[in-house]
Structure 1
Amino acid sequence: MDRFFLSQTPWVSCSIILLSLFISSCKDDEEIILDTQTKALVETLDQELKPLTINPLDWSDEELSFLDPLANKKIIALGESTHGTAEFFDSKHRIFKYFVENHDFKVFAFEADFGESLLINDAVQRGASNEIEELMKSKMHFWTWRTEEVKNLLVWMSNYNQSKSEEDKLQYVGVDCQFNTFHPGMVRSYLNKTDATFFASADEILIEAKSASEGYFAAYSLEQFETYLEKIDELKALMTNYKEELIEVSSEREFKLHVRILEVIKQVSIVRYYRGDYTINYRDKYMAENTVWFNDYFDGNKIVLWAHNRHIADEPNYGGGGSMGHRLKQDLTTDYTTIGFLFSRGSFTAVTQRGDQFRELQTQTINANPKTNSINFVMSQGKQSVFALKTIDLQKYGEWNDAFANSIEIFEIGAAFNNNPSDYYFKFDPAFYEYIIYFDTTTASVLL
């Protein structure tokens, strides 16, 4: 798993203090006294926010109409500031449904394994909602998505597809590249089915890809690893050379998909070989490439993209080359947009972290107020407990521009939590997210 699935690098908080507060001795009945600058931040926030119903699944089309200006974007990315918050997951379910029913979106792409998602999407395409839970339990690599909330989304997609033509069906896909559990076997099955003349040599390469990936290429020198990658490229060239023959006994879409799966095998190999080396952020690079590829593969059908806030953000300094969102923004410019999700307190599902050790997966709880020098704290003092906000609207105000310039922070957790919230703050940049959806209090996702 990556840093957001397993651990969260502690972020050094800036020393600038924008806010001051007084908290009474009664923890459950706090009286917070804000300074003049903070009051101004809260007042202008209240002017710009759009209130939302507490339960995301109850959001009406009218409530979500503020998202209509995004309807023509190629990719709308929906984030999350933890990997285990029910409200974030339900929000994304409801927003995707809104874009499907009102703006002809067809594809939901996840920060999930490319191959596993193809297996689950087969059931989604057939409208086999009764198969979804077992497929999630048996095929999904990450506990983060094996939840009732994601199941409800996939069941809805499956039921929706039952009455739709092939071109109108919804697609569930994964853009991640951390495992070669299924990919080599998928290519092998395709080449066997099409009776490829080079099957024997391809099979040898695919067997090596699966076994070596499982061991993180630990036995490979750099020279051996580069030779292995050359074999993958040679197999890809062979498939391209025999394209017409392969298409004749399958289809152009099948051919295109399996060439891409072979490319994902290479992506996974590189991510695994260079794990821990963030000179180049290979994983985000490849997730961005896979997302754009799916947009083309589905003939330009618009995509809603589900991933952690840090991945979707336009963040050039997130590893070498920047985040997935930064790369998508560079590639697609105005055709890519982001909605980040924030919270202040409540419960969420995460792995318990103690030092360098990762322990049990359980419900975690935060009762304390956010750090005063954070956008979360300001939002927690607003009039509304659940709301949406266009980030650029805050930049109309001098006090907000001052706060951004003076390193106001943001609070975000991945898949692990060490029970020390102060470790999970870092500098906020308003360029990260075009919109923010905020929940004052959250509840934990429900694991299958």
Structure 2
Amino acid sequence: MATDIKDTVQAVDAAAVMRLLPSRPRLLALGEPTHGEDALLDLRNAVFRQLVEQEGYRTIAIESDCVMGLLVDDYVTTGAGTLDDVMAQGISHGWGASAANRDLVRWMRDHNVRADEDGCGASERLRFAGFDGPLEITHAASPRQALTALHGYLAPRVDAELLPCTPDTLDRLLGADDRWTDPAVMMEPALSVGRTVEADRLRLLADEMLALLDQQAPHLLATTSPDAFERARLYGRTAAGLLRYHHGMADTSPARLTRLVSVRDQMMAQNLLALAERGPALVHAQNAHLQRAKSSMRMGGARLEWWSAGALVSTRLGAEYAFVATALGTIRHRGVDTPPPTTLEGLLYALPQDRCVIDAPRLAATLDTPPPAPRVSPWYGYAPLDPAHLADIDGIVFVRDVPQR
């Protein structure tokens, strides 16, 4: 390793992050190597607040159900509901219980209240978004909510003869929701309803309604709010994605799991691109969902490889997409102890700073050949940073030790 690694190191703040980039990107993504550690989320919150206040970002998106997230956005923008309710019902994967996520939502609402009191326009208000699909590890949601919401938006606004179906038809084809959400399907594809005649018909109807939404866009945008139209687009994307995911759940080929993780990240990418249309957004998720390099993981004894949401979005946005990964030294309460000195995390752990921002491409240029060995995690919930990906990362936030909270 060259001796100038310290020249790549800066304090952790928004200014340091922005100095890594040639200009303000439309989507600025911060990844994390593990979920559920509020110490990392507290750091995310601090950096995101600075980026909002100093760089004009107005949307914050996290790895959470995009439909559920509408409840949080309503609370943040209008005060609808209560903080307790939106944290319980508006954030998926159980992450609404996180104190750091609660602090983020509370701060966003307080920011908007102050903006309204100061007479600021809507452009100063913060918006919240989930950008994951309605998916959990064990199951996927029924497409009912997304399909019926899309139909409910179109029905009173377009000629009835243009609609491809009635609400009763949707209800009959959907059947009971527990057929779609049965967790046993994850291990037994034959139990899935994703390739039934009814599911195939629903996929066609979702496509027809999405096409109608596009065809009627001038009228719909003239007669409803832009937010209402964008929500209808979200429902349409989600319905189509869920039906595609359920189709994959019924797959019995060796490619089944690869198809599922690919569909999930495709759904994420579509949501992120829609957010980018609205204006500059900050994004937070697991590193593997945001990186430009091909993602991989082991699941069910097989190695899966797929293109992440970040890779898909970067292909579309180019320099308008930026990715800063988080790397860490220890999570001792999870059995992740001091990293070996021959690994990338081991090299960073030798730095004197507890937390720092590192120019990843410059760091890559300082490393000897061969590069550091990949770190092997003793805990399944933590994914070390792959040294081979350094050149495709704009920056690294390094946290030396993650304390238990």
TM-score, normalising length: structure 2:
0.79
Q: Deviations over 1:266-307 (max 9, x none)?
A: 1122223324431571111221121011221x2xx1011111
Q: Among 169, 186, 189, which residue is 1:204 paired with?
A: 169
Inter-partner Cα distance in structure 2 for 1:338 and 1:223? 42
Inter-partner Cα distance in structure 2 for 1:207 and 1:45? 63
Alpha-carbon RMSD? 3.1
Is 1:345 aligned to residue 345 of structure 2? Answer: no
Q: Among 44, 47, 64, which residue is 1:112 paired with?
A: 64
What corresponds to 2:274 in structure 1?
Answer: 293
Q: Contact 1:342–1:412 at 8 Å: present in 2 too?
A: no
What corresponds to 1:302 in structure 2?
Answer: 280
Cα deviation, residue 223, structure 1: 6.2
Is 1:100 aligned to residue 52 of structure 2? Answer: yes
Rate the CA distance shift 1:208–1:152 in 2: closer, same or farther, 3 A: farther
Q: Among 93, 100, 124, which residue is 1:149 paired with?
A: 100
Q: Deviations over 1:1-20 (max 9, x none)?
A: xxxxxxxxxxxxxxxxxxxx
Is 1:123 aligned to residue 88 of structure 2? Answer: no
Q: Contact 1:236–1:262 at 8 Å: present in 2 too?
A: yes
Q: Among 80, 83, 86, which residue is 1:132 paired with?
A: 83
Query: Following superposition of structure 1 onto structure 2, how do residues 25-424 of structure 1 map, counting pairs within 5 Å?
Result: 40=1, 43-52=3-12, 63-69=13-19, 70=21, 72-127=24-79, 131-164=82-115, 165-177=121-133, 178=135, 179-180=140-141, 182-187=145-150, 189-191=152-154, 197=160, 198=163, 201-205=166-170, 208-209=173-174, 211=177, 213-215=180-182, 218-221=192-195, 225-241=199-215, 243=217, 246=220, 250-275=224-249, 276-279=256-259, 281-296=262-277, 298=278, 301-318=279-296, 321-346=306-331, 364-366=333-335, 368-397=337-366, 400-404=367-371, 408-410=373-375, 417=379
Rate the CA distance shift 1:271–1:373 in 2: closer, same or farther, 3 A: farther
Rate the CA distance shift 1:329–1:431 in 2: closer, same or farther, 3 A: farther
Q: Deviations over 1:55-100 (max 9, x none)?
A: xxxxxxxx53222344521111001011012232112211211111
What corresponds to 2:301 in structure 1?
Answer: none
Inter-partner Cα distance in structure 2 for 1:395 and 1:238? 49
Rate the CA distance shift 1:73–1:222 in 2: closer, same or farther, 3 A: same
Count residues with an aligned counterpart: 366
Of all paired residues, the percent bearing the same amino acid is 15
Inter-partner Cα distance in structure 2 for 1:144 and 1:184? 26
Rate the CA distance shift 1:109–1:200 in 2: closer, same or farther, 3 A: same
Inter-partner Cα distance in structure 2 for 1:409 and 1:158? 41
Q: Contact 1:385–1:440 at 8 Å: present in 2 too?
A: yes
Q: Tell me the SS of whatever aligns to 1:231.
A: helix
Q: Tell me the SS of whatever aligns to 1:291.
A: helix
Inter-partner Cα distance in structure 2 for 1:429 and 1:257? 35
Rate the CA distance shift 1:367–1:294 in 2: closer, same or farther, 3 A: closer
Inter-partner Cα distance in structure 1 for 2:65 and 2:95? 12
**Aligned amino acid, residue 439 of structure 1:** V
Rate the CA distance shift 1:240–1:430 in 2: closer, same or farther, 3 A: closer
Inter-partner Cα distance in structure 1 for 2:207 and 2:18? 43
- Structure 2 gaps of 5+ residues are 116-120, 186-190, 250-255, 297-303
- Structure 1 gaps of 5+ residues are 1-39, 53-62, 348-363
Q: Contact 2:25–2:320 at 8 Å: present in 1 too?
A: yes
- Greater shift after overlay, 190-199 or 429-438? 190-199
Rate the CA distance shift 1:166–1:411 in 2: closer, same or farther, 3 A: farther
Inter-partner Cα distance in structure 1 for 2:336 and 2:212? 58
